[in-house]
Amino acid sequence: MPKCTFCGRSIERGTGKMFVYNSGKIDNFCSNKCEKNLHKLKRKPLQVRWTESYRQEHKKQGDNKTKQAE
């Protein structure tokens, strides 16, 4: 299964969008929200708090797992 280019979530088969650039690069999106953030609003995934790459960069991934375990 492909991962969303913007947020990093896995995309189920038969869902999502694929955007192909003229250069041949392929972007997969899980939702319209991710597509608009990247193309229309020109945001970078590292600057948006709800993306997987932001959580990895700012070491926020472990905090959610420990809170849920308690």
Q: Confidence class of residue 63 from pLDDT cuts 50, 70 and 90?
A: low
Asked whether 62 and 18 are in contact (CB, 8 A), the reply is no
Q: Which CATH architecture has domain 1-58?
A: Roll (2.30)
- At 12-59, the pLDDT tens digits run 999 999 999 999 999 999 999 999 999 999 999 999 999 999 999 988
Number of Cβ within a 10 Å radius of residue 22: 5
Using alpha carbons, list the distances in angstroms from residue 50 to 22, 44, 70.
29, 12, 22
